[in-house]
Homo-oligomer: A and B are copies of this chain.
Amino acid sequence: MPSFLAARALLPTGWAEDVLVESDAAGDIVAVTPGTAAPAARRLAGHVIPGVPNLHSHAFQRAMAGGAERRSPAGQDSFWTWRETMYRFVALFSPEDAEAVAAQLYAELLEHGFTAVAEFHYLHHQPDGTPYTDPAEMAKRHIAAARRAGIGMTMLPALYRHGGIFGKPPHEGQRRFLNDLDGFSRIVQGVRAAAGEDPQVAVGLAPHSLRAVTPDMLRALSGFDGPIHIHAAEQPKEVAECLAATGARPVRWLLDHMPVDARWVLIHATHLDDGEVADLARSGALAGLCPTTEASLGDGIFRLPEFLGAGGRFGIGTDSHVGTAPAFELRQLETSQRLRDHARAVATAEQNPHPGRTLLDAALAGGAQASGRRLGAIAPGMRADLVELDDTHPLLLGRAGDALLDAWVFSGQGNPVRSVVCGGKAVVEAGRHVHAMAIRDAFGVAMRRLLQ
């Protein structure tokens, strides 16, 4: 049974010293014992925090990160011109490419302290739109990549049927994504079979957005007993279209027409009116915030103070993967609030004056809720997902406890993550993924093909 001895660890009760974390063969924590000396355990000399769940990923977009910045000839660039670029790019991926790019991404996520990823997966079919012989081929490639990298996964096959609200014909660039409910069921079945009893893999559902599915389709999925993720209110134009078509803004429409509760994750939820803020918070659903992507795409700034004030819950995701580090997602989330409000320490809670700790706690709890898995805390019954921050790193030197979390989240560009344990297995050592070279080589082959 793998066991780890953390010099300091963040437990549900707070920071503790000399913490022995024991896990079983399946990778679940079976015992957490502070104040011990266990010479046989592997020693983690720094500050150990729970691995952070990443609640929103489109893995293939890692290959576009930094490659879709060029101004388009048509004039003013926006999310919508970016999406055109993405549609052209998505046509290029073979299953091998998708797996290689996802493995590279997942290794990078682990190196920065993410230990689980919710993969919002819509790249289902061949480039001409025909399903692969195995309709779950592409989803399985992502599961294989997660296993290769050793990251936990919630696979979220996406239902994508239309090209606009509600029921507009799809765009040609969307043909690899499209399914009716029957085709979608076949993919979900294939994914379930591939996940099997693996404690590192869970399955959820992802109706893509109100642009991509009809109310009937949403209702058909809404009885699912597990995570349901949906994009909502990322862009003002999307809000305007929904309002014109339905008389309601997207988040309002969801709240009024669907049984939105703690199973649901509304990805982005950037553009909310006061009533939506209050009612989304009250619903128990999560806001799935992707701060660096939302900044890159010019989406807008989430209403964090009002949402937290209403008791809202959120988690963080890296979405298009222009950022791949939990510390930077949390930093961008908080600093965008500061830029708008001319204030500091926006996200602190009554009980804790450290925004680094406050944001991390929220991301751990929210990410766990979004994953449909038992994780996000160093406690018995949770996955043994541990991130060791090197407290001798120049960014953290001399800091301890919650003040060290502030320094991690809010300062510098270096990466003080020294080692990462995921499901009881060491996957990052001395800051490097244990298979970094081999995964990078396969990524290089894929990138040469994709960018040729």
Contact = CB atoms under 8 A, between A and B. Distances in A.
Interface of A: 65-67, 69-73, 76-79, 81-82, 104, 108, 112, 235-236, 292, 294-301, 321-325, 328, 335-336, 338-339, 341-345, 348, 353-356, 392, 394-399, 403, 406-415, 440, 443-444, 447-448, 450-451
A214 B52 CA distance: 52
B406 A339 contact: no
Q: Which of A295, A356, A411 has the most CB of B within 10 A?
A: A411
Contacts of A440: 394
B336 A69 contact: no
Contact of A406 (B70, B343, B448): B70
A321 B411 CA distance: 8
A251 B443 CA distance: 50
A210 B174 CA distance: 56
Contact of A338 (B71, B295, B335, B407): B295
A342 B301 contact: no
Contacts of A342: 78-79, 235-236, 298-300
Contact of A448 (B324, B354, B398, B409): B398
Contact of A403 (B70, B112, B236): B70
Contact of A411 (B65, B81, B235, B356): B65
Given A79-B344, A322-B411, A328-B413, A399 B339 contact: no
A299 B411 CA distance: 17
Nearest to A440: B394
Contacts of A398: 444, 447-448, 450-451
A398 B66 CA distance: 11
A271 to B, nearest CB: 10
A406 B299 contact: no
A443 B403 contact: no
